[in-house]
Amino acid sequence: MTELEKKYYLIDASKQPLGRMATVASILLRDKISANYISNKCPNNIVIIINAANIYLTGNKSISKTYNRYTGFHGGVKTKDFFQLSKENPKKLIEKAVKGMLPKNRLIKHLMANLKIYDSKNHQYKKEQIIEIKV
């Protein structure tokens, strides 16, 4: 394969916990499984995550996990728990988990652009040669 060829990876989110799936997705986005891994280059890997609405957490984390964001004003901390966020926007949960596992440098926006998340099994990459990842 040449350096410019795209590789497509498919992960089904309904079969494993959020953290394990996010770990695999971050490794594939950075292409750390390749022999040609370069830390300062953005590889051409597209990671497709389907069934985002069916993600789950193990143990008591599904009850106690909270997500905070700050509005910029005094007392502007907004808190949502896992159940609220999973009903409103399950894609956001996966984005936050994968983004937290990527390095905080100028490549992060390019790596996150290669992450495609879908709520159901339908996605637009059916014509491509997809490598299905079993976690």
CATH number, domain containing residue 126: 3.90.1180.10
Q: Which domain holds residue 107?
A: 7-57+86-133
How far is 52 from 119, CA to CA, in rounded Å?
Answer: 5
User: Structurally, how many domains does the chain consist of?
Assistant: 1
Q: Is 66 inside a domain boundary?
A: no
Q: Is 100 inside a domain boundary?
A: yes
Q: Is 119 inside a domain boundary?
A: yes
Which tens digit of pLDDT belongs to each residue from 112-126? 999 999 999 999 888
Which tens digit of pLDDT belongs to each residue from 28-63? 999 999 998 999 999 999 999 999 999 999 999 988
Around Cβ 57, how many Cβ atoms within 10 Å?
16
Q: Is the pTM of this model over 0.75?
A: yes
132 bridge partner residues: 10
Q: Is 110 inside a domain boundary?
A: yes
In Å, how far from its chain's centre is CA 55? 12
Task: Choose among 28, 74, 68, 64: nearest CA to 48.
Answer: 28
Q: Is 124 inside a domain boundary?
A: yes
3-state secondary structure of 50: strand
Higher pLDDT, 38 or 1: 38
Would residue 128 be called left, alpha or beta, if left means φ above 0 and alpha means ψ between -120 and 50 degrees?
beta
Q: Is 34 inside a domain boundary?
A: yes
Q: Is 75 inside a domain boundary?
A: no
